[in-house]
Amino acid sequence: METLEAIASRQTIRQFDDRPVSQEEVAILIRAGFAAPSNNHLRQWHFLSLVDLDRRRQLLDQVIHPLDRKGSQKVIDNWGMQDATQREMYLDAIPLQYSMLLSAPVLLIPLFDQLGSVLHPETLSGLNAFASIWCCIENILIAAADQGLFGVTRIPFPEESKIVKEALHIPATFEFPCWLALGYPAPQARRAQQIAIDPLSRLHIDVW
């Protein structure tokens, strides 16, 4: 695939086919991740791959209690969400939070070494390590799309992050920006409708 094609084809998938993904295929994706820019040149990134399905289930049972469509509707009503396309995406996504992580052939936990608190940065550069790992994650998603693999990132709630870090013996200075679930899409996998954006309408020349 051409680069622009791979970028354009990347999309979020939350329902996976059983087709396995080998460790070699995962290594190709992580190699692409390590080609991303990094704030301090060190690329202090690690990845935990949750391979053992029983252990994975035990962990997910502790941290994710998915809502059904009705419960999800209440949540997004409370948020005051109005846009119909955005509402539909959330209504589809919220009930799948547990199953997408359990059923994904590859479930990675990307980790970055964070000096100081990522939640209370004193300056924008205090967020550099966090920003860098997201560059890495996006590279992985694009490389995955190139290989016909798709997936989803889930942001952990604070308690979720704490439990996962303890259970998996993650060193104290490392942070976990998201879960990263990947695999081949199930035949019936739903894809969110996208909101069309004309790039030129977002490009401001010389002054806003």
> Judged by CB under 6 A, which of 81, 93, 131, 168 binds ligand FMN?
93
Between 76 and 93, name the residue whose CB sits nearer to ligand FMN: 93
Among 26, 32, 89, 108, interactor with ligand FMN by CB under 6 A? 89
Residue nearer to ligand FMN on the CB measure, 48 or 178:
178
**Position 192 contacts ligand FMN (CB under 6 A):** yes
Can you give 68-113 as a three-state secondary structure string? CHHHHHHHHHHHCCCCHHHHHHHHHHHHHHHHHHHHCCEEEEEEEE
CB-nearer residue toward ligand FMN: 22 or 85:
85
x/- map, 49-88, ligand FMN, by CB under 6 A: ----------------------------------------
Binding test (CB under 6 A) with ligand FMN, winner from 11, 39, 99, 128: 11
In this structure, what are the phi and psi dihedrals at residue 170, rounded to the nearest 5 degrees? Answer: -75, 130
130-169 positions binding ligand FMN, by CB under 6 A: 152-155
Minimum CB distance to ligand FMN, residue 150 (Å): 9
Q: Which residues of 25-41 are buried (b: 16+ CB within 10 A; e: fewer)?
A: ebebbbebbeebebbee
Sign of CA dihedral 183, 187, 192, 194: positive
State the alpha helices, DSSP H only, in 80-198.
Answer: 84-93, 97-103, 128-146, 158-167
Q: Which residues contact 103 (CB under 8 A, 6 or more apart)?
A: 15, 16, 183
Residues between 96 and 125 that touch ligand FMN (CB under 6 A)? 97
Q: How far is CA 112 from CA 8, 47, 133, in A?
A: 27, 9, 7
Among residues 80 and 171, whose Cβ is nearest to ligand FMN?
Answer: 80
Q: Which residue of this chain has its Cβ atom nearest to ligand FMN in the complex? A: 12
Would you state the structure tokens that stand for residue 99, as one six-digit string?
Answer: 């199953």
CB-nearer residue toward ligand FMN: 89 or 129: 89
Interface residues with ligand FMN (CB under 6 A) are 11-12, 14, 89, 93, 97, 152-155, 192
